[in-house]
């Protein structure tokens, strides 16, 4: 709690609700009297909150031995998630386990604008809903991930948008209108961090700080600090891809030179391999990783070099934040140990010992789906906050 | 509140106490019944906490019109703060306004060890206590700042210690024994951030994220995130001085090459000026700043160049954390606008627009005293947490 904000009535209600839910999260049914004792809240306060939670379907209550027993329900219903990449869009329908009921993916033209991108997502969503035998109106809500910072103040896509057609778009408004259900939007790396924190490497009780780094066409990070997603004043924290590595390096799409992204993005990797693979060969990061696995020297080298650059940025990040876990996600994570073995020594070389010696450095548990699953978490959080 | 920690009884008591204090912080006296309504806590819980707070001298209560009115008292008593620099130690006695009752400063030999350093502080503390007419036993406690990361897990000074004689020392234990009063210890940049947040640029209600960067012989940062000091898993967050700027650059005392500190520390600045000022001239950062102010071209240039390097690190930090305020402190802050004018364009050149366009970049309000005052805040927090 901010020591200087005495708290509005709304903030207090929110805090009371959160602590009651925390007391319930232990799992067993508890009586209202127990909850009052455990939280220090007045019985009338407990009773009010429980009534509200029951109306929402968050808890169930039952009279037993003259006492009202309260039990937390799993979050009910299904949500949809829409994850935009640079050249694809993926839609999933899932419950809060998270169990995926349907998933659809489509290639996107690089330069379609937000309106067109949302039309594609709407069609894909309809197909996925059909696959899952779920009606649009039955979705609790829709979570959406974009490979761009979302300015929380304006609700708009901040520059530098990787998707040029989305820059400056009031995305929540537009998406809600296009999709016909409430939509919550966040940066895809933030959603990856949220999914890893809930369901992946961060799900253990003792984990309070976690960074998820998405390495794909773009490079971005999502930060969990003190048990909550931290997105900064304007919602744009985590832009690790635009750390300057080489002041005189190649131009970056953000307008600077020598950003980390110019050295380790999918495009940079593929370009570095051109002299070996030939001008015409189209190759994805996943294919580069597979070739390296098979022993291809050039693919191995290029991923190791990328790992070393990423390692430097992770070292700086750890020096600054001293986090517990760094999770590598995105397409490049498919290189697995090859990548981690390149990153790890550099982190220890460039990080100060006390900041990195206990760092857990891992690849994502959730495969390429981390941001997509984060969208499911976001969708449930929007309507059934816990 | 961490959504997954159901909270021990101790944590709940702590949280209840914090929200009651938050409700009281509005300033006017409030009845216990009002407090119960405002916080949602049970009247018995409120009454218990108030009794405890009254015993501690945190609040006063008064019967009026049949209701018990509760009023928050200013934190009483005086605390001491001990701030170690690389070559000096400063001791202050102050109340919680903070009004400084006495201040003493002494030059330190560079290589004295922790035990000797504490003996010097003890003598200085005795002199300051005499100046202020305060008895040692009347100090609420002592806050201490060191220019080194403090490993929260072990309570020891982490490497790289700028003070070699302190490396690995169990500092709280040793200092408590040497000084004869409870001692709380933190990194000096963290204390600078704490002081700026309480009494400086961060004192306004709307400020929730602030970074204090200390530029002196060492370079370090203290982070306030979501209204609280963030020091990472092991207590060593904020080590911005060891960000690698030039992989092939000069050796840093931390064992890496080309850290920010090798380029902008007091020593680096003075070394850069050697060809101009001559081999034998001893000069401090403060003197360099003063000469620059008078129009000295070399001093101006060297501070501008340092500002540009610092600007790059601030840009990376803002890309990552999207904070509201960056406060420049330490000796170099005396260069004021000259330094800010060099930093600002670089931050905007290397930072992504959404992360830096609303950044407030300022020099400290509290002069060279920021970490020293932070020690006073820390000392009060130790015994009268609010």
Q: What percent of chain A stands above pLDDT 70?
A: 94
Q: For every residue of chain B, which 3-state class applies, written as one string?
A: CCCCCCCCHHHHHHHHHHHHHHHHCCCCCEEHHHHHHHHCECHHHHHHHHHHHHHHCCEEEEEECCEEEEEECCCCCEEEEEEECCCEEEEEEECCCCCEEEEEEEECCCCCCHHHHHHHHHHHHHHHHHHHCCCHHHEEEEEEEECCCEECCCCEECCCCCCHHHCCCEHHHHHHHHHCCCEEEEEHHHHHHHHHHHHCCCCCCCCCCEEEEEECCCEEEEEEECCEEECCCCCCCCCHHHCECCCCCCECCCCCECEHHHHHCHHHHHHHHHHHHCCCCCCCHHHHHHHHHCCCHHHHHHHHHHHHHHHHHHHHHHHHHCCCEEEEECHHHHHHHHHHHHHHHHHHHHCCHHHHCCCEEEECCCHHHHHHHHHHHHHHHHHCCC
Q: Which of B52, B194, B322, B381 to mutate to test the interface with A (most CBs of A within 10 A)?
A: B322
The strand pairing partners of A63, in sequence order, are A68
Tokens 């985590």 appear where?
A238
For the segment B374-381, the average pLDDT, to the nearest whole number, is: 94
Tokens of A9: 């009535």
**DSSP class of A111:** T
Q: What is the pLDDT of residues A342-368, one digit of tens each?
A: 999 999 999 988 889 999 999 998 988
Whether the link from the prior residue into A259 is cis, omega within 30° of 0, is no
Contacts of A36 in chain B (CB under 8 A): 42
Tokens of A386: 């816990």
For the segment A142-149, the average pLDDT, to the nearest whole number, is: 92
Three-class SS of residue A206? coil
Q: What is the pLDDT of residues B123-155, one digit of tens each?
A: 999 999 999 999 999 999 999 999 888 877 777
Q: What percent of chain B stands above pLDDT 70?
A: 94
Determine whether the interchain pair A317/B320 forms a contact, defined as Cβ–Cβ distance below 8 Å. yes
Q: What percent of chain A stands above pLDDT 90?
A: 56
Q: Rounded to whole angstroms, how far apart are CA atoms B313 and B61?
A: 50
> Nearest Cβ partner of B158 from A45, A232, A354?
A354
Q: Rounded to whole angstroms, how far apart are CA atoms A362 and A327?
A: 5
Cα nearest neighbour of A208 on chain B = B2
For residue A4, what pLDDT is reported? 35
- Determine which of A6-20, B156-170, B183-197 has the lowest per-residue pLDDT on average: A6-20
Determine whether the interchain pair A12/B225 forms a contact, defined as Cβ–Cβ distance below 8 Å. no
Q: Delimit the domains of chain B by residue range.
A: 9-72, 78-193+371-383, 203-364
Cα nearest neighbour of A33 on chain B = B42
Determine whether the interchain pair B205/A312 forms a contact, defined as Cβ–Cβ distance below 8 Å. no
For the segment B246-261, the average pLDDT, to the nearest whole number, is: 88
Q: Rounded to whole angstroms, how far apart are CA atoms B232 and B263?
A: 26
> Nearest Cβ partner of B236 from A42, A230, A354?
A354
For residue B7, pLDDT over 60 is answered with no
Rounded to a whole number of angstroms, the distance from the CA of B163 to the nearest CA of chain A is: 16
Which of B61, B91, B96 is CA-nearest to residue B76? B96
> Nearest Cβ partner of B319 from A242, A352, A355?
A242
Contacts of B20 in chain A (CB under 8 A): none
Rounded to a whole number of angstroms, the distance from the CA of A280 to the nearest CA of chain B is: 33
Which of A211, A265, A199, A268 is CA-nearest to residue A238? A211
Cα nearest neighbour of B325 on chain A = A233
For residue B154, what pLDDT is reported? 77
Cα nearest neighbour of A38 on chain B = B9
For residue A194, what pLDDT is reported? 94
Q: A168 in the Ramachandran plot: left (φ > 0), alpha (ψ -120 to 50) or beta?
A: left
Residue A135 has a CB neighbour count (10 Å cut-off) of 9
Contacts of B243 in chain A (CB under 8 A): 316, 319-320
Say if residues B350 and B316 touch (Cβ distance below 8 Å). yes
For the segment B234-258, the average pLDDT, to the nearest whole number, is: 88
More confident residue, A36 or A144: A144
For the segment B252-277, the average pLDDT, to the nearest whole number, is: 91
How far CA B231 is from CA of A225, B16, B160, B239, in Å, comes to: 10, 24, 16, 10
For residue A386, what pLDDT is reported? 64
Most confident range (mean pLDDT) of A1-15, A368-382, B37-51 is: A368-382
For residue A26, pLDDT over 60 is answered with no
Q: What is the pLDDT of residues B54-102, one digit of tens each?
A: 887 788 888 887 888 898 877 778 999 999 988 899 999 999 989 999 9
Q: What is the pLDDT of residues A255-294, one digit of tens each?
A: 888 999 999 999 899 999 999 988 888 888 889 999 999 9
Cα nearest neighbour of B385 on chain A = A3
Determine whether the interchain pair A233/B322 forms a contact, defined as Cβ–Cβ distance below 8 Å. yes
Rounded to a whole number of angstroms, the distance from the CA of A45 to the nearest CA of chain B is: 6
All residues at 6 or more sequence positions from B14 whose CB lies less than 8 Å from its CB, including other chains: none
For the segment A308-323, the average pLDDT, to the nearest whole number, is: 95
Determine whether the interchain pair B236/A355 forms a contact, defined as Cβ–Cβ distance below 8 Å. yes
Determine whether the interchain pair B25/A13 forms a contact, defined as Cβ–Cβ distance below 8 Å. no
Determine whether the interchain pair B19/A15 forms a contact, defined as Cβ–Cβ distance below 8 Å. yes
For residue B108, what pLDDT is reported? 87
For residue B15, what pLDDT is reported? 74
Determine whether the interchain pair B316/A321 forms a contact, defined as Cβ–Cβ distance below 8 Å. no
Determine whether the interchain pair A320/B355 forms a contact, defined as Cβ–Cβ distance below 8 Å. no
Q: Rounded to whole angstroms, how far apart are CA atoms A316 and B155?
A: 23
Q: What is the pLDDT of residues B191-201, one digit of tens each?
A: 999 999 989 99
Rounded to a whole number of angstroms, the distance from the CA of B282 to the nearest CA of chain A is: 31
Q: Rounded to whole angstroms, how far apart are CA atoms A345 and A326?
A: 14
> Nearest Cβ partner of B12 from A39, A45, A236?
A39
For residue A13, what pLDDT is reported? 77
For residue B11, pLDDT over 80 is answered with no
Most confident range (mean pLDDT) of A6-20, A86-100, B11-25, B275-289 is: A86-100
Say if residues A218 and A261 touch (Cβ distance below 8 Å). yes
Determine whether the interchain pair A3/B226 forms a contact, defined as Cβ–Cβ distance below 8 Å. no
For residue B367, pLDDT over 90 is answered with no
A78-193+371-383 shares the fold of A9-72? no
For residue B2, pLDDT over 50 is answered with no
Cα nearest neighbour of B234 on chain A = A322
For the segment B362-381, the average pLDDT, to the nearest whole number, is: 93
Determine whether the interchain pair B239/A355 forms a contact, defined as Cβ–Cβ distance below 8 Å. yes
Rounded to a whole number of angstroms, the distance from the CA of A279 to the nearest CA of chain B is: 32
| CATH superfamily membership of B203-364 | ATPase, nucleotide binding domain (3.30.420.40)
Q: What is the pLDDT of residues B301-354, one digit of tens each?
A: 999 999 999 999 999 999 999 999 999 999 999 999 999 999 999 999 999 888
Provide the mean pLDDT of chain A: 88
Q: Rounded to whole angstroms, how far apart are CA atoms B224 and B33?
A: 34
All residues at 6 or more sequence positions from B147 whose CB lies less than 8 Å from its CB, including other chains: B84, B85, B86, B162, B163, B187, B188, B214, B216, B217, B218, B220
Q: Rounded to whole angstroms, how far apart are CA atoms B72 and A3?
A: 14
Determine whether the interchain pair A227/B354 forms a contact, defined as Cβ–Cβ distance below 8 Å. no
Band of pLDDT at residue B209, cut at 50, 70 and 90:
very high
Determine whether the interchain pair A243/B209 forms a contact, defined as Cβ–Cβ distance below 8 Å. no
Determine whether the interchain pair B5/A22 forms a contact, defined as Cβ–Cβ distance below 8 Å. yes
Provide the mean pLDDT of chain B: 88
For residue A2, what pLDDT is reported? 36
Class of domain B9-72: mainly alpha
Cα nearest neighbour of B321 on chain A = A237
For residue B278, what pLDDT is reported? 86
For residue B145, what pLDDT is reported? 95
Band of pLDDT at residue A339, cut at 50, 70 and 90:
very high
| CATH superfamily membership of A202-364 | ATPase, nucleotide binding domain (3.30.420.40)
Class of domain A78-193+371-383: alpha beta
Tokens 């039309």 appear where?
A119
Size of interface A-B (CB pairs under 8 A): 230
Determine whether the interchain pair A234/B3 forms a contact, defined as Cβ–Cβ distance below 8 Å. no
């Amino acid at each position: 709690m901010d020591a200087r904000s005495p708290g509005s009535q709304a903030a207090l209600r929110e805090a009371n609700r959160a602590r009651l839910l925390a007391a319930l999260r232990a799992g067993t049914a508890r009586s209202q009297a127990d909850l009052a004792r455990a939280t220090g809240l007045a019985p009338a306060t407990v009773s009010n909150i429980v009534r509200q939670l029951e109306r929402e379907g968050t808890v169930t209550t039952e009279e037993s031995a003259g006492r009202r027993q309260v039990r937390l329900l799993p979050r009910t219903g299904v949500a949809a998630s829409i994850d935009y990449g640079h050249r694809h869009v993926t839609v999933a329908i899932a419950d809060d386990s998270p169990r995926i009921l349907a998933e659809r993916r489509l290639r996107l033209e690089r330069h379609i604008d937000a309106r067109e991108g949302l039309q594609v997502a709407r069609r894909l969503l309809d197909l996925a809903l059909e696959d899952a035998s779920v009606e649009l109106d039955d979705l609790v809500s829709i979570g959406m991930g974009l490979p761009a910072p979302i300015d929380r103040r304006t609700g708009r896509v901040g520059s530098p948008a990787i998707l040029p057609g989305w820059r400056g778009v009031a995305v929540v408004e537009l998406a809600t209108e296009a999709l016909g259900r409430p939509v919550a939007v966040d940066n895809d790396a933030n959603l990856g961090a949220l999914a890893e924190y809930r369901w992946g490497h961060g799900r253990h009780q003792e984990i309070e700080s976690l960074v998820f780094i998405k390495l794909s066409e773009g490079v971005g990070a999502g930060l969990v600090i003190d048990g909550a997603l931290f997105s900064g004043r304007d919602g744009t924290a985590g832009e690790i891809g635009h750390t300057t590595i080489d002041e005189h390096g190649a131009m970056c799409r953000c307008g600077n030179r020598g950003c980390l992204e110019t050295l380790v993005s999918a495009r940079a990797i593929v370009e570095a391999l051109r002299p070996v693979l030939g001008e015409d060969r189209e190759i994805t990061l996943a294919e580069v990783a597979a070739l390296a696995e098979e022993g291809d020297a050039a693919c191995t080298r290029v991923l190791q070099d990328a790992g070393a650059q990423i390692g430097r940025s992770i070292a700086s990040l750890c020096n600054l934040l001293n986090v517990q876990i760094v999770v590598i996600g995105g397409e490049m994570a498919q290189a697995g140990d090859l990548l981690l073995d390149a990153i790890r020594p550099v982190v220890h070389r460039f990080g100060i010992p006390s900041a990195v010696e206990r760092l857990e450095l891992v690849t994502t548990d959730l495969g390429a789906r981390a941001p997509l699953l984060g969208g499911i978490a976001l969708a449930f959080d929007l309507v059934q906050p816990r």
